[in-house]
Structure 1
Amino acid sequence: MDLDQYFEEIVAKVNATMDSFLHGDTRELYEASRYLISAGGKRLRPLVVVLSSDLLGGERHRAILAGAAVEVLHNFTLIHDDIMDQDTTRRGIPTVHVKWGIPTAILAGDLLHAKAFQILTESIKGLSGDVAYKVLDCFSRSVIVVSEGQAMDMEFEKRWDIREKDYLEMIRRKTAQLFACSAYLGGVLAGGSEEEVNNLYEFGEKMGIAFQIVDDILGITADEKELGKPLYSDIREAKKTLLVIKSLERANSEERKIIMEGLGSNDMSKLKATASLITGLSLDYAYELARKYHEEALAHLSRVTPRNENAVKGLRSIADIVIKRRK
């Protein structure tokens, strides 16, 4: 089976599983909760869950359920993030709060949060208490860690003293944690050893850090159609991304003034000037750091003995997609 076919089969099953859980009598609420999920998405996190389980010879149906739970949780965070960031588009369509209003969007997010745990509970049915504990502990801890990361990201918008290590800690929590948990869940559900599941966790975390660095790069270099969200939104929101931090470190006084005036602005000429400067000052550095984390991710993956060659090829392919993606 080639990788495309392998991935498509997994994604189809994950999509069907999510859909089966996201229907109810309160039609508008469920419609709002399914809205972003139905709009597509790369499904990288559930793929990581299922491939990590396949890697160690796990039961596919449990991994599909866990993958669906992770993707539902991810979409919960997207709905609430869009409200907090006041973003108007996501995946090329109006955000949930724009289409249905903030109260319904908050409720749709809350529903997805609960549904994620409901689906995950199905994945551990009949397993030992120890395995069930590890699965639920990682998943619930991830909600806490992601929330902490989002709070850090919002706090950083008001500060000018953010260093690279602060940024890396923030994205480790906000973005990388769910990738780490995805790989870990697949390994635990498959009955992996402590060493195996820890290496899978590290693989997911390092890949997640690379993912967010590339995401920040695309926020400045990709066009609106590629992004599926407003151009320069990170600059408008004064996000202290790696590119901004490194640019401010390297800029002369005139360049620094332009960047600081552009951050938080809605003036398109200022946004363009800021984006151009940031690209010139920090793009190569950011790509190099993303590649470093990509290599670290693959090093951890190589420490796990595969029971399924397609799965290890698939996980390497996802790590490559993360570093090379254009949207």
Structure 2
Amino acid sequence: MTVTGFTRNPPFIDDLARSESGRLLRAELGRRWPETTDQLLTIARYALLPAGKLLRPIMTLHAAEAVGGSPRDVLAAALGTEYLHVATLVHDDIIDADTLRRGRPAVPVAFGIPDAIVAGDHLIFTAFAAIVDGGRAVPPGHVVAALAALAEAGQDLCRGQALEARLVGDLDAGARWYPEMIRLKTGALFRAVCHIGALLGGADPTVAAALARYGEHIGTAFQIRDDLLSYVATPEQTGKPATSDLNNGRPTLPLLLAYAAATDTARVELMAVLHRRGAGPGDVQWVTALLDEVDAVEAARRQLVGHAERARAELAVLAPSASADVLSGIATWMTSETA
């Protein structure tokens, strides 16, 4: 099915990007990454600017403010979460041989693969430095815990990426490992951005842990939402071809749910489509019909809603505030325009 009026970034996210938090982050990002003649810094700046929606660092700021901290005090640390995120995008573009990122040549295309690898590595180490910089106003123990949260997220991201590579074209293994793969690949960084914000905002361990769980559920919902986009919106609306999932052979949730519910004959054909690693004549139409027949899109959406609701439930530890409302609003946005 296709959602009328779907936009990849509905008004809530656009408004969040234009909010005071978004403006603070963009101004600080520009200040910290000026134009330079240094080649390595030039590549890093190219990867970072112009910035995207900055959802992850915005969540860091609101997590800090929701527990009584000052967003300005954790600004550097919030940008650190963006550095890690962008570093993974640079490396992903190398792995996937993608040529475009945010409407222009990807870093490996613009600067070559060797320099792209080094620039991605540089952003990872800069992320850790940013956590230290952003933790000057809190007890050292909170800074150590925030560094540990970032390191754990980075390790999980790597495990998730490696696991995803092993699942390509294998719907049987995908059905078993998909939840763990997206928890590691996508949930881990969302977990870290909220945990870091809470820790550097001065939260006690119980509240910080609740916000970490909130972030992990948000990240898991985010990945399921991304999986659904090919089936609830047009390529013009999403910015990616309808054949994307079939071309890369990756077991997204709708495909896995369809595989589980299909007849043996349909299972064999679906596996064959993925093994072709490209949509042959009629493949997209056949897969779409199968998903409709077994109601796989709606089943995936129910899982998305479940994670969004579990995320929202974790916010019960927070006192009412504008930032708590923003965090709750992000959970609501995850389920929007996918019905």
Whether the TM-score (by the shorter chain) exceeds 0.5 is yes
1:283 alignment partner in structure 2: 297
**How far off is 1:30 after superposition?**
3.1
Contact 1:258 1:274 in 2 (8 A): no
1:42 to 35, 53, 56: 53
- What is the identity, as a one-letter code, of the residue corresponding to 1:169? E
Length-normalised TM-score, structure 1: 0.90
1:84 alignment partner in structure 2: 95
The answer to whether residue 335 in structure 2 is matched with residue 323 in structure 1 is yes
- What is the identity, as a one-letter code, of the residue corresponding to 1:94? P
2:41 to 7, 30, 50: 30
2:309 to 256, 270, 295: 295
Any idea what SS the aligned residue of 2:173 has?
coil
Deviates more, 1:143-152 or 1:256-265: 256-265
Contact 2:98 2:106 in 1 (8 A): yes
**How far off is 1:88 after superposition?**
2.7
Question: How big is the alpha-carbon RMSD for the aligned residues of Structure 1 and Structure 2?
Answer: 2.4
- What is the identity, as a one-letter code, of the residue corresponding to 1:133? V
Task: Give the length in aligned residue pairs.
Answer: 323
2:7 alignment partner in structure 1: none
2:322 alignment partner in structure 1: 310
**Cα deviation digits, residues 6-61 of structure 1 (max 9, x gap):** 96211121122223333475544333323343244221111111111111110222
Give the unaligned 5+ runs of structure 1.
none
Contact 2:169 2:271 in 1 (8 A): no
2:21 to 6, 10, 16: 10
The answer to whether residue 175 in structure 2 is matched with residue 161 in structure 1 is no
Change (3 A) 1:146 1:123: same
Any idea what SS the aligned residue of 2:335 has?
helix
**How far off is 1:138 after superposition?**
0.5
Q: Percent identity?
A: 29
- What is the identity, as a one-letter code, of the residue corresponding to 2:329? S
1:185 alignment partner in structure 2: 196
1:214 alignment partner in structure 2: 225
The answer to whether residue 270 in structure 2 is matched with residue 250 in structure 1 is no
Any idea what SS the aligned residue of 2:192 has?
helix
1:226 alignment partner in structure 2: 237
Change (3 A) 1:278 1:77: farther
1:141 to 152, 155, 179: 152
Distance 2:262 2:191 in 1: 34
Any idea what SS the aligned residue of 1:324 has?
coil
Any idea what SS the aligned residue of 1:135 has?
helix
Length-normalised TM-score, structure 2: 0.87
Any idea what SS the aligned residue of 1:141 has?
helix
1:73 alignment partner in structure 2: 84
Change (3 A) 1:137 1:148: same
Change (3 A) 1:19 1:77: same
Contact 1:236 1:271 in 2 (8 A): no
2:4 alignment partner in structure 1: none
2:216 alignment partner in structure 1: 205
**How far off is 1:231 after superposition?**
3.9
The answer to whether residue 121 in structure 2 is matched with residue 110 in structure 1 is yes
Change (3 A) 1:275 1:87: farther
Distance 2:44 2:290 in 1: 36
Contact 1:152 1:170 in 2 (8 A): yes
Change (3 A) 1:226 1:63: farther
2:8 alignment partner in structure 1: none
Distance 1:20 1:275 in 2: 48
